[in-house]
Structure formats: C-alpha cells, structure tokens
Structure 1
Amino acid sequence: MVRRLLALSRPLYWYYERRLLKEVKGGPMPRHLGLILDGNRRYARMLGLAPTKGHEFGVKKAYEVLEWCLELGIRTVTVWVFSTDNFRRSPEEVEELMRLFVQEASRMAEDHRIHRHQVQVRVIGRREGFSQEVLEALERLESRTRHHQGMVLNIAMGYGGREEIVDAVKRLLLEAHEKGLSPKEVAEALTPEAIAERLYTAGLPDPDFIVRTSGEIRLSGFLLWQSAYSEFYFADVLWPEFRKIDFLRALRSYQARERRFGR
C-alpha cells in the first residue's frame, strides 16, 4: 500500500519541483551562496553504518548541489567541508576524510563539468595539519582551474571564522612592520576595509545567503566577518538527504525577503 502511494505521488512531486524551479528561476539569485554541509555522520548512524561512511554520501550530495547552482547561474559558492576543530575527531575519521580529499580533488581536477562550466576552484583556510599528499592534490586542482572565468567555488578546509580574522589582522600588521610604520600609523591602518581586503575571500562579494542543513540553528564560525548582512536558512534535513526541492524552497525564501525589502 505504501509503495503504491509513493508511486502515485511521484508525478505530483515532479510537477511541483518543476513549477518551483520555474518560479525560482524568475527571481533574484544570491551573488554568493554559503553552504554548511552538516549531518553526514548522523545520516550514517541512522542507516546503521560507520560515521565515516556518511562523508561518502555527503560528497555525492555536494556534486548534486553544485550542479543545481550551475543550473541557476549562482556565480560564487563557498562550501565548508572541514573546520579547524575537525582535526580533533578520531584518527580513523580524520584519516578517512583526508583520503576523500585527495580522491575528490584529483577527480575534480579532471571533471568535465568543472572545465565545461569554467568553474574556478579556490581552497580557503589554514593548510597546517594537512599531509603533503592532500596539499599537492588541492594545489593541482587550484592550478588546473585558476584561469577559469565561470563560477567561483571556494572550498573551506582547515577553516575557522575566528582564525580567518586573526590571519587577516596578522597579515596587515606584518605588512605595516615591513613598511616601518609606527604603532600609531599601524592603528590608523587597521580599518574594516583593510581587514576585509586580507580575508580569504578578498575580491569576492560577501555571501548574501547562507544555508545550513541538519537542523542546527547557528553558524559555528562560518564566514564570521563576511556574513554580517547575510540572509540565513536552516534546513531541518541532514546534508545527504538535502533534495533539490529543499534547495529551491530555501532560494524561494531568500527571494521573498529580497522582494519584501526592495533589494
């Protein structure tokens, strides 16, 4: 009975998704979309699998969502895949994640979709703690896509919002020291604009829309500086379960708020 009802509902679901896609395509798109990919481990546990298996499902979903972004013409996307705090997880999980990073960076460097759509991939965050194998795979991916002129895809790895701000201030102070500036001159140079120019995302628009999955209603340090004026959407589904219809509903809510405030 349940299977029969599911089979009958599929055409209605497909029709609703197509209608929603048409509606969303007619509205304003985020210039910069931030994605916090949360819920991989919980999804694996729900299926009775080891938590590390959830990351494999998460990778597959990330490719799907990036294709949706390309279809809708979103120009800049930042995905948070590994925080500085994630190094504290079990050695087995960290090792599995490192294996996936090497595997997927190598795959993306050759992916025909990346090259056909001219996706420029940037890796943002601190690189300390990653193995030479991981670093070489990431650098190869960045090198292969550096001159692309399409979507900018930021992959946040070894990333923390507080660390990003600290690194920007450190960079500013070091530059001031090299110029021989006095403490007073350094203080005068320490402006919001100067810090913004030294963030990992310098040169890109700040995110106007950030989506987090898994039901967590917090940013956990994601793009702390850049998200000051962002709109947020917290989806109550785990990342591997995030469907296109969920994505379209999120974008529809963003567009409704943009229209309401005349932006």
Structure 2
Amino acid sequence: MNRWLRERVDAAYEQLLSREIDGVPTHVAVIQDGNRRYARRQGSDATDGHREGAETTEDVLEWCQEVGVEELTLYAFSTENFERPAEEREALYDLLCEKLREFADAERVHENGVKIRALGAVERLPKRVREAVDYAEDRTRDYDRFVLNIALAYGGRSELLEAARGVAEDVESGAVDPEEIDVETIERRLYDEPVRDVDLIIRTGGDERTSNFLPWHANGNEAAVFFCTPYWPEFSKPDFLRGIRTYEHRQESWRRTRARRALALLGAMSDRELAEARSIVDRFRDSLPTAEQPDEDELEGADSSGPAAD
C-alpha cells in the first residue's frame, strides 16, 4: 500500500474511532515502553529512541485534552532505570531536564491550565533533574483544569511500603489509633496532593504487564488495561482511541454485572435492602441485553417474594 493511501486509510479509521467514543476515562496512566527497541530497529542509539518518544508524549497530552481526559500519568523513569548504563542514564536525565522546562514554559500548557507534578522518589535523582522538577511544578502550581503527573524514580511497591511504614510509625507514637486507619489514611501518605483513581492503563511495546504502576490507584479501582504492540515512538492517535474504547467496553461490562447481581439478589433481600437493590437495577437496567431487562411486574414480584424485614 503506497504512503498516500495508507494515510487516507489511517485518517478514516481515526474518524471512525472518534465517532464510536461515547464516554472517556478521567485518569489515564501510560507505560511508555519500547523506546530502546525502536532505536535498535532503526539502527540508532537509545537516546534517539527516547527523544522520539518524548515527541509522542507531547501528542498524547494533546489527545487527552481533546477527548476530555482530566489527568494523565506518564511512567517516565522507574526505579529499575537506575540499573541502566551510566551513559544512557545521563542522557535520560538531560532529556528529562529539557522536557520538564520546555513543558513548563509551553504556551499551550498555560493556556489549558495544566498542572505538572512529579510522583516518586525524586530525591534519588541528580540535582539538575530535581531543579527542573521544582521549576515545572512552581510554574504550573496554580492550575487545576488538567493534571500531568510525571512518574520519576517510581516504584509502586516501594511507594506502598513507605506509606505502610509511615502509618506504623504514627501508630507506635500514638498519633494514629489503629481502629481509625482507613483508605484516606494511606492516601494521605502516598502523595502531597490527591491523585485520582486510575481508569485506564495503556502500555505500548507488546509486553502484557503493568509493571507495578500505581497499584493503589489502578488495582484498587479495577482499571481497564490496554496493551498494544507499537513501540512508544510509533504510538498513534488511532492506538490511543482504541485504548479509550477498551475503557468504555470495560465500563459497559461492569454495569451489566452490577445489574445482573442486583436482579439475582432481589428475591433474597429484606425490605431494608430491597430499596437499594431496586435502585441499582433502575440505574443499570439499560446496560443489560433486551432479553434480560426486567419489567415492572417482575420487580413487583421480587418485592412480594422477598423475606420480611428483620
């Protein structure tokens, strides 16, 4: 297929996907995998792959804002990246410094009210990277229309471990009552500012694993996951829209499951529980196939057949 025809086909496919999208996730998290493999395939250095990947990152930020995503988290530098050769690490540090400052000064970032935040053990990074992080955060601190999280020196297991240690220390000192520990207790120790639950994780490069990325906010929220084969520098808008569609299908499945469970339980509930179950059925009834949707007579029958209130 010649280049002109390929571009026409891709444009038509992108339009089709855009028309199919109805609801969008609030928070998308991306594992940007495949930069080095892309560079090797091109016969280039790893640094060239990371630099081309940075261009994709800018595109994804724009696509998120176009469809209505409100928060984007990018897995830019994991704790495992510290094990890479010194030359590659230094090149990555330089690129991070350049892009953080570039983003912080970009006109579109300020026009769209983008808040830039770093997640992870930033204190482990070289001084020049920490200074670039401070610069980007300070320049965008007052914005709240869109949040861009950059995961740096990040490890999900380490993050949870540090939070658990903090809670244990507070319990030992008497500052926290063990009976009062709840979800908010942990979340307050994870980040300085709230992070929304993750609705969708996208991973490029062909590997089907989430690499311990945002476990508290993604696993706890049963986030949808979209794995795709393109390396990060090749990731396209149609790929992005396919990821959004995966989230939509996940939500539709969740709604159907909730409705089916509520219907199954109606006949076994007490009067006090029945109102809540009927409310769930009413909310999610339309997500069921037509043949499974109950009518009012069935619901009334469930009311009369249920056991008496305790």
Give 2:66's aligned residue: 71
How far did 1:201 drift?
7.5
Give 2:11's aligned residue: 14
- In structure 2, stretches of 5+ residues that fail to align are 256-283, 285-310
Give 1:130's aligned residue: 125
Q: How does 1:169-248 map to 2 (within 5 A)?
A: 169-176=164-171, 180-181=173-174, 187-200=178-191, 203-228=194-219, 229-248=222-241
Shifted more, 88-97 versus 50-59: the winner is 50-59
CA contact (8 A) 1:36 1:213 kept: yes
Q: What is the CA–CA distance in structure 1 between the aligned matches of 2:170 and 2:157, rounded to whole Å?
A: 20
How far did 1:23 drift?
2.2
CA contact (8 A) 1:119 1:149 kept: yes
How far did 1:19 drift?
2.4
Q: What is the CA–CA distance in structure 1 between the aligned matches of 2:10 and 2:129, rounded to whole Å?
A: 41
Distance verdict in 2 for CA 1:9–1:158, change over 3 Å: closer
CA contact (8 A) 2:29 2:198 kept: yes
How far did 1:189 drift?
4.5
CA contact (8 A) 1:43 1:54 kept: yes
Give 1:89's aligned residue: 84
Q: What is the CA–CA distance in structure 2 between the aligned matches of 1:19 and 1:52, rounded to whole Å?
A: 35
How far did 1:200 drift?
2.6
CA contact (8 A) 1:164 1:200 kept: no
Q: Once the two structures are aligned, what percentage of the paired residues are identical?
A: 37
- Paired letter, 1:58: G
Query: Using CA pairs below 8 Å that are at least 6 residues apart, which structure has the higher relative contact order?
Result: 1
Q: What is the CA–CA distance in structure 2 between the aligned matches of 1:201 and 1:16, rounded to whole Å?
A: 41
Q: What is the CA–CA distance in structure 1 between the aligned matches of 2:95 and 2:235, rounded to whole Å?
A: 20
Q: What is the CA–CA distance in structure 1 between the aligned matches of 2:139 and 2:169, rounded to whole Å?
A: 31
Q: TM-score, normalised by structure 2?
A: 0.77
Q: Does residue 57 of the first structure (1) align with residue 52 of the second (2)?
A: yes
Q: What is the CA–CA distance in structure 2 between the aligned matches of 1:29 and 1:209, rounded to whole Å?
A: 10
How far did 1:202 drift?
5.3
- Paired letter, 1:93: E
How far did 1:186 drift?
5.2
Larger Rg belongs to? 2
- Paired letter, 1:252: R
CA contact (8 A) 2:38 2:49 kept: yes
Q: What is the CA–CA distance in structure 2 between the aligned matches of 1:208 and 1:154, rounded to whole Å?
A: 15
Give 1:151's aligned residue: 146
Shifted more, 96-105 versus 123-132: the winner is 123-132
SS in 2 for 1:261: helix
> Cα deviation per residue 1:216-241 (whole Å; 9 max; x = unaligned)?
11111101122221111111111111
CA contact (8 A) 1:122 1:154 kept: yes
Aligned length: 254
How far did 1:133 drift?
1.3
Q: What is the CA–CA distance in structure 2 between the aligned matches of 1:62 and 1:70, rounded to whole Å?
A: 13
- In structure 1, stretches of 5+ residues that fail to align are none
Shifted more, 187-196 versus 99-108: the winner is 187-196
